[in-house]
Amino acid sequence: SGQEGAVFQSRLPFSKMTPNEEACFPDISRSGILGHRVFLNIRNGLLHMWVDNPKTQLTFENALKRLPPPFDSDPNLVRRVHSFLERHGFINFGIFKRITPIPIKKLGKVIVIGAGISGLAVGQQLQQFGMDVIVLEARDRVGGRIATFRKNSYIADLGAMVVTGVYGNPMTILSKQIGMDLVPIQQTCPLYGPDGKPVPKEKDDVIEREFNRLLESASYLSHRLDFNYAGNNPVSLGDALEWIINMQDKAVQEKRAAHMQEIIAAQTKIIEHRKRLKSILQKIATLKSELQTLVRQRVPKGAQNENGYACQEYTIRTTQIKLEDLVNVEAELRNEGHKMELKLQELEQNGPSQVYLSSRDRLILDWHFANLEFANATRLDNLSLKHWDQDDDFEFIGHHTTVRNGYSCVPVALTENIDIRLNSAVKEIKYNSKGVEIVAENLKTSNSQMTYKADLAVCTLTLGVLKVAVTQEEETQHGNTVKFDPPLPDWKQQAIRRLGFGNLNKVVLCFDRIFWDPNANLFGHVGSTTASRGEMFLFWSISSSPVLLALVAGMAANIVESVTDDIIIGRCMSVLKNIFGNTSVPQPKETVVTRWRSDQWARGSYSYVSVGSSGSDYDLLAAPVIPPTSFEPHFSKEAEELPRLFFAGEHTIRNYPATVHGAYLSGLREAGRIADYYLGYP
Ligand code: FAJ
């Protein structure tokens, strides 16, 4: 709350200008500390006004009226700051009541390709900046990878479903503007083993700690030891983790071998010791019989001469002393022997563990790996060890929430006042220094093609669709193959090839009653093999109606795409029956199985940093494309250098990839960039 909260919510530093602000306000940047302070006070004040009431447009005039003196004394500066914040999507974004009308005279024509969240964001922004916008969408609905299944009282998100952190998240502002029913997720997640029995909490905690330690070790390998290449090949996170596990296993085996050697040494010592004791006992026996003979043959004092008697007594006495000494040695040896036996016993009883992880523990660890594969939408051995978590520092804090009334309420709300042509599959994107021509097929009126001409186009095709476009994978005539004319520049094509586009699937099961713990949002199922660890590894219960959502991640996500619904539902049911008992689990009333990889308008779920790629590929995917020079003499130099193709989408935003908020922010970013190029600086 307050001004600081509003600035934090806007992802800006409270008491510092950003490099972008310095570039846009060079006069302030040069003006010294006082100028900076004035700028920051105006900027922070405006953000506070907007975040406090994002349902109504914040006009310059209203902002000026509400700014406290002396910050209202330079209306020109306030206007510039207001325009800057509006242009870059910090204020007046989303769905809000307008006070000033949108300019009637259109300032340039834009075609947005795709009506996912990024396409809708860029469309909304450019429309309010006064541009003429048409959005072309191949599906018969908006939202793209935000897709909500609705039937009777059942609601389930088939694509995105989690708003990850509220502070700084633009979704928080949207939720205030439209009816998003955000519900915090209860993070506790009881686990059930492959046999359906609960995994004891203590065991679960121990393995979770080991999982975190393994990730820390992998990070240490990469960032401290710079172990990122094996020969010339970049190392994957999966490889690094398996190496560490093998090393741990080896260390355990080495400890065991050392322990065995200790036992053998102790046993050898005991054997030696027993030998010594035995020889002492023999000596004692010999001495005893010698002594007995001496005593038996003893000649009394008067029966022999004095010398003989003294000699005899001396021999008896020294034999006795020798015997006493040997008996003492025997006692000592017995004592030592006892200690040795105890030590051996202790060694035998307190040996190191037999293996690093038992096979059951390994499967629980695999469950955590499956969870990581879900977050990254791919197998761990596809992820770059060095860069897979490059966006970690930009995670929002605060609750993770789900949208109880279905995430599709957001894209649907964002369609307000935009010209969206559904069922329009773009086939060709032609661009040159004069503008763009987009050829689209109307999927409702078969084979009818339309060509749209505009000054520029914003391409929000998914990375999966772009990959097909650049590898020229000609499929069936009806497949989604988009042709760029001229082909995209090489640097763009290479980045498209390098960055990964993963997969994640969901199975929706709608029941007539809840048979699971209604207080838990999540429960996990530990698979029976490492290879199948991602198969229905996590069940979500987030709807107010009896709906379960099973996740299929990692290797299993691709496998389910080639299997029938009946088989997948059958697998889910047997997992649930194994946990809750045959009689407790009713037949589902409705079911849905997603196949995001086979979906021709998506070709996967979301991007990831693959082996050989890095965060900078996101920047390359975001960079606009300037058409090759036309060499037409009458054409102006400025027009020649204008980019005509712009790119938005979750795969174009380095700091927030793979998310709805990232895709949305990429749309705001591109709208600002386009306005800067085509409408000039505010
Ligand atoms: O909860 O923020 C989620 N939360 C989230 N994003 C998710 C999440 C996952 C997540 C959470 C936290 C961190 C990272 C990820 C977890 C998961 O539950 N969830 C999720 C689950 C699934 C199964 C999917 C598929 C996705 C997620 N995501 C990712 C987000 O949904 C996406 O990042 C975001 O929605 C992408 O928006 P976008 O605007 O960049 O892309 P699209 O695909 O929505 O729009 C492209 C449009 O182009 C589509 O409408 C498509 O039909 C159209 N198109 C394609 N070819 C065309 C065409 N239109 C015209 N002509 C053509 N030829």
pLDDT tens-digit readout, 411-436: 999 999 999 999 999 999 999 999 99
Relative to the CA of 662, which ligand 1 atom is closest?
A: 33
Model confidence over 298-329: pLDDT tens digits?
Answer: 999 889 899 999 999 999 999 999 999 999 99
Query: Does 104 have pLDDT greater than 90?
Result: no
Tell me the chain's radius of gyration from C-alpha atoms: 38
Between CA 665 and CA 149 the distance in angstroms is 25
Which residue's C-alpha comes closest to atom 48 of ligand 1?
Answer: 114
- pLDDT digits over 126-150, tens only? 999 999 999 999 999 999 999 999 9
pLDDT score of 634: 56
Q: How far apart are CA 201 and CA 193, in angstroms?
A: 12
State which ligand 1 atom lies nearest to the alpha carbon of 158. Answer: 23
Quote the distance between the C-alpha of residue 476 and its chain's center: 34
DSSP codes joined into one string, 59-107: -HHHHHHHSPTTTTS-HHHHHHHHHHHHHTTSSS-SS-B-SSPPPSS--
Q: Which residue has the tokens 């509006």?
A: 86
Work out which ligand 1 atom sits closest to the CA atom of 504. Answer: 23
- Contact 576 CB / ligand 1 (< 6 Å): no
Q: Are strands 435-442 and 424-432 parallel, antiparallel or unpaired?
A: antiparallel
Q: Residue 574: how many CB atoms within 10 A of its CB?
A: 14
- In this prediction, residue 630 has a pLDDT band, given cuts at 50, 70 and 90, of low
Burial bucket for residue 41 (CB in 10 Å: 0-12, 13-18, 19+): middle
pLDDT of 136: 98
Helices (H), 350-477: 359-376, 409-413, 463-471
Q: How confident is the model over 154-174, as pLDDT tens digits?
A: 999 999 999 999 999 999 999
Mean pLDDT of 453-475: 90
Looking from the CA of 544 toward its CB, the CA atoms found within 13 Å total 9
Cα dihedral: 474, 475, 479, 484 (round 10): -10
Chain-centre distance of CA 571, in angstroms?
Answer: 26
117 CA: nearest ligand 1 atom: 39
Cα(171)–Cα(49) distance, integer angstroms: 18
Nearest atom in ligand 1 to the alpha carbon of residue 480 is 63
Strand ranges (E), 511-567: 522-525, 538-540, 547-552
- Angle, CA 406 vertex, CA 405 and CA 409 arms, to 5°: 90
- Helical axes 359-376 vs 201-219, angle rounded to 10°: 60
Cβ(460) to ligand 1 under 6 A? yes
CA–CA separation, 431 and 454 (whole Å):
10
Distance (Å) from CA 660 to ligand 1 centroid: 7
- Cα 17 from Cα 454, distance rounded (Å): 36
Give residue 665 CA to ligand 1 midpoint distance, Å: 13
Q: Give me the percent of the chain exceeding a pLDDT of 90.
A: 89
Residue 545 backbone dihedrals phi, psi, to 5 degrees: -100, 165
C-alpha to C-alpha distance for 125 and 129, rounded to whole angstroms: 6
Q: Which of 372, 659, 664 should be mutated for ligand 1, with most atoms under 8 A from CB?
A: 659
pLDDT digits (tens, 9 = 90+) for 255-269: 999 999 999 999 999
Q: Does ligand 1 have an atom closer than 6 angstroms to the CB of 123?
A: no
Q: What's the 605 CA to ligand 1 centre distance in angstroms?
A: 6
Q: How far does the centroid of ligand 1 lie from the alpha carbon of residue 385, in Å?
A: 24
Residue count of the chain, please give it. 682
- The reported pLDDT for the residue numbered 356 is 83
pLDDT digits (tens, 9 = 90+) for 641-660: 899 999 999 999 999 999 99
Q: What is the spatial distance between Cα 98 and Cα 91, in angstroms, rounded to a whole number?
A: 12
Task: Name the band, by pLDDT with cuts 50, 70 and 90, for residue 475.
Answer: low
Centre of ligand 1 from the C-alpha of residue 543, in Å: 21
Residue range 73-83, pLDDT digits in tens:
999 999 999 99
Report the pLDDT averaged over residues 275-297: 96
Residue nearest to atom 5 of ligand 1 (CA): 659
Q: How many CB atoms lie within 10 A of CB 237?
A: 27
Does residue 443 have its Cβ closer than 6 Å to ligand 1?
no
Q: What is the pLDDT of residue 637?
A: 63
Mutational pocket test of ligand 1: of 606, 646, 661, the residue with most ligand atoms within 8 Å of the beta carbon: 606
Residue 474 binned pLDDT confidence (cut-offs 50, 70, 90):
low
601 Cα nearest atom in ligand 1: 55
Least-confidence region, from 94-108, 456-470, 495-509: 94-108
H helix or E strand, kind and range, residue 346:
helix 306-349
The pLDDT-based confidence of 520 (bands split at 50, 70, 90) is confident
Residue 8 is predicted with a pLDDT of 97
Q: Which two tokens stand for residue 389?
A: 């978590």
